[in-house]
Amino acid sequence: MKAEGNAPHFLLDKTMSHDQNFKNLILDYPHLALAFFAATEADGIDAARITPVRQEQFQERLGERFRELDVPLLVEWPNGRREALAFVLEEESDARRFSIHRLAHYCLDLAELMKTDRVVPVVIFLRQAQGVAQRLCLSGDHHTYLDFRYLSCALGELAYEHYRHSDNLVIRLNLPNMQYPAGRKVEVYAQAVRGLTGLERDPEKQLKYLDFIDIYAALDDNERVEYQRDYPDEARTMSRFAERFREEGIQQGMQQGLQQGMQQGVQQGKHQGEALVLERLLRLKFGTLPDEVQQRIDQASEQTLLAWSERVLTANRLDEVLH
């Protein structure tokens, strides 16, 4: 995966597909994801062991229907207290692409390969699911021979107000994808960040899913200014994330130095770290950076990068930082 701005490998690439973003989310937080996206089948899920199902064996059998980014999970309860369940989670950013026939094929093949009839299909619609087929029935004049349904979670149809204080991190990260008045977008962003910093203690995952929130909230420049003004505590927290970002850049450079010459690697890591933290701070405060600004950062010395970083906190305009 290529990370923007030479970011550490664990950060989300902003060019990454929505499918992959949600696959990462589900694999990082499987219990929380099932508790949210498949609540009616997730009773007692906290005590279960959840493991991803290897998909290589599906590719030849499924042919054109195979989608690597679907996420099959096997849920097993200790001591066999309940029979294992296989969950198939699929994300659709555009509901028009969804095919209930393809999903039914996938689930039938999965059931055959795993020798089970306990399969729960779940579809996560990023926006709305109006007009999407919810049921597939194959029948004749007298009998129904196949009656297929799936669990649906249409994020764009969920009311933000009902979830804003949830203690489920997967829910909090998805607040920007829910339904809310346009004038409350910055508030929604702040609530998502609060959920991330309050519910996730791993710095690497904090950085990873701060980018997730950024992608789906998509604040414009004016909204970022409003955020800085109205939520100074959260803004400072994000600045600390940026500092961690800088430290990771330095560490990455030092590791490269072990292979290419320690001194050269350390200097490269320091320069890279300063550039990364400056880019992060500038994006948080001023939004998307013009190409010419990115070029100036790439060509600047370590001392210049440090000086620019110090100006970010007091500057009101981008040109005040880089003068």
**What are the extents of the domains in the chain?**
4-157
Query: Residue 135 belongs to what H/E stretch?
Result: strand 135-139
Q: What is the amino acid identity at position 81? A: R
Please give the chain's pLDDT, 323 residues, in tens.
333 333 333 344 444 577 788 999 999 999 999 999 999 998 888 889 999 887 655 655 555 555 555 788 999 988 777 889 999 999 998 888 899 999 998 899 889 888 999 999 999 999 988 889 999 999 999 999 999 999 999 999 999 999 999 999 999 999 999 999 989 999 999 999 999 999 999 888 888 898 899 899 998 889 988 998 898 887 777 666 656 655 555 455 445 543 453 344 344 455 566 777 778 778 777 777 888 888 888 888 888 887 887 787 777 788 888 87
Q: CA of 305: how far to CAs of 244, 250, 311, in Å? A: 16, 14, 10
Give the global pTM.
Answer: 0.70
User: What gap in Å lies between CA 110 and CA 72, rounded to an integer?
Assistant: 9
